[in-house]
Amino acid sequence: MCPDDITSVEALNRFKTLFPSTKLVIFIQNPVVLFQEMYNDLAYHKHPNKLPSPNELVGSCANKRCGGYTRGCGDTESICTDRMKLHHQLSHFGKTPMSVDEKKLLRVDVRTIPTRNEILLFEHQQVFGEKAFSQNATKDLSTFLRLKHSLPEVHHAIRPQELYQEKQKRTHFINICDDEHKKARDILLRIAHEASIWICDYFINSTDVTVSSREVFTDLVEEWRSDPCVDGFLS
């Protein structure tokens, strides 16, 4: 399943019909950090072409396609602040009652496709962060999938300097903490805050949703409500 399928009503309808019992494993990440990582990945692969500045990518991805570079599931990659609204994407699964308070956090009437699929949710740092709890993660994954054998421990993520080895192609990398990106960062901080509340208060309370090491997961997602630039997570 392509990650972008979560945002497509048509794709979710097909998935619901063809794979009604398939279990889903989903990783989520702080939207501020995710935006920077996606931007820099695209900037690296589109070099020497320069992307629009983060402040120009505020709002919908419509008419903001960076073009010319195909990634992932075969679509031309695009990036914008709206794409970081992970709570919007997760809400499409129809796992929550869509109360008035929920809709205030989502800010729009999201069209849901209620599914029976069980979901296992990880916060990115649980597996790939400096404080990775990869041993617990693999145990939780094995239990969720009802495997009869143990899974190997997950390796930590490759660091950016290892992944992006050609220095020249890193010319247009950004640090979202820089003052020049404040407009975009402020929007992303609001998105991260609202996503954190919705995920912790609504989504993970669904009987169809399991989280790995619930207390650790909740602590990590609640950290989204703080500015990672101030906290030193991004620098």
Q: What is the pLDDT of residues 43-60, one digit of tens each?
A: 998 989 989 999 999 998
Residue 71: pLDDT band with limits 50, 70, 90: very low
235 in any annotated domain: no
pLDDT at 74 over 60: no
Name the phi and psi angles at 160, rounded to 5. Answer: -50, -40
Q: Which of 45-49, 95-99, 159-163 has the lowest mean pLDDT?
A: 159-163
Phi first, then psi: what are they for 134, rounded to 5°?
-65, -30
pTM: 0.87
Angle at 126 between CA 123 and CA 130, to 5 degrees: 120
Provide the pLDDT for residue 121.
95
- Say if residue 76's pLDDT is above 70: no
Residue 234 lies in a domain: no
In a domain, 231, yes or no: no
Instruction: Lowest mean pLDDT of 71-85, 125-139, 215-229, name the range.
Output: 71-85
> For residue 195, is it within any domain?
yes
Whether 7 is in a domain gets the answer yes
Residue 230 forms part of a structural domain: no
State how many domains the chain has.
1
Compute CA distances 58 → 31, 55, 75, 226, whole Å: 13, 6, 21, 20
Domain of residue 47 covers 3-225
